[in-house]
Amino acid sequence: METNFRFIQLADPQFGQFAHLSGMSDHQIMTYKRSNLKVDKESKYYHLENETRLFSKAISIANELEVSFVVICGDMVNTPGNREQIHAVKTIAKQLKANIPVFWVPGNHDVGADTEVPTIESLIEYRKEFGEDYFSFTHNGYKFLVINSVVLAHPELVIEECLDQMKFIEVEMNEAKDKNIPTVVFTHHPLFLDNANEGSMEPEWAPSPPGKAGYWTIPNPTRSDLIDLFERGNVQAVFAGHWHRNNYARNGKMEMITSGPVGYPLGEDPSGYRIVKINNNQISHSYHKLNQ
């Protein structure tokens, strides 16, 4: 089946992060810098103006391009369960044209009760606001799989949720294999940054925050299990966020794309959005700066 469509991938609009990272001391900024994270020196403020402007622009571009859908790869908010932040991001998303669906992918700031480790209660709250935290959908001959990487990376308090999700992924990948359906995966955490065998610790150029080894990627052995399933399911590309900058890697035929943020950049890549085109079963993509 010949395919020809495009969608927009967004990541980390993270309403509340601009205020959270403002007003920091030189010592605090240096702590971020030791983890290779760039935080600007600026006076403290408390509003959502920057996130509102950037996310509104991204939604406007999606409408102008009349894309098939928009997917947001996690961290819609900075503070889990914050009513103001959740209301702001959902209100702006409703500005999408009626024929352009939006698909939410849970991030650690959305389902992690302490922004990292999810609980049953935090998952229930997320589902009330954004719907299912893992699911699949199809479009024009492609299967798209949304996973909850927060549960997979930190199942300590939600073991059954993790096991259920892995079973779901296995079923989806078996179907993709049996029916020869090309597949794309959306996640918050990338599987890896350099290569699939880099180990649970990230590369030296991407150190985790102090005391949070393995913060940036899905750690082993879960990562290896997922890669095996994705190979079975003919996964062509995995799109992620979380890193607040762009990064590209491969494992065989599967490309691992980590996208920069709609919101606060933590590296040299600007706030932006990614246009993904699928034409005749070939995937291409490009990252674009959001005008500020």
Q: Would you place residue 1 in the very low, low, confident or very high pLDDT band (cuts 50, 70, 90)?
A: low
**Reported confidence tier of residue 204, pLDDT bands at 50, 70, 90:** confident
Res 36: pLDDT: 87
Tell me: pLDDT of 24 over 60: yes
Query: Which amino acid, one-letter code, is at 18?
Result: F
**What pLDDT is recorded for position 211?**
72
Nearest in space to 172 (alpha carbons), one of 206, 222, 202, 138? 138
Q: What is the rounded distance in angstroms from the CA atom of residue 119 to the CA atom of residue 167?
A: 19
Nearest to 9 by CA among 268, 237, 281: 237
pLDDT at 201: 61
CA–CA dist 35, 30 (Å, integer): 9
In tens, the pLDDT along 115-127 reads 889 999 999 999 9
d(CA 33, CA 30): 5
CA-based end-to-end distance of the chain: 40
Sequence spans of domains, the chain: 4-289
Residue 209's pLDDT band, with cuts at 50, 70 and 90, is: confident
- Owner of token pair 């920091």: 24
Residue (of 288, 282, 290, 264) closest to 13 by Cα position: 264
The pLDDT-based confidence of 131 (bands split at 50, 70, 90) is very high
Q: Which CATH superfamily is domain 4-289 in?
A: Metallo-dependent phosphatases (3.60.21.10)
In whole angstroms, what is the distance from residue 220 CA to residue 111 CA? 21
Largest CA distance in the chain: 57
Q: Above 70 in pLDDT, residue 200?
A: no
Task: Please tell me the distance from the alpha carbon of residue 142 to that of residue 33, in angstroms, as a whole number.
Answer: 40
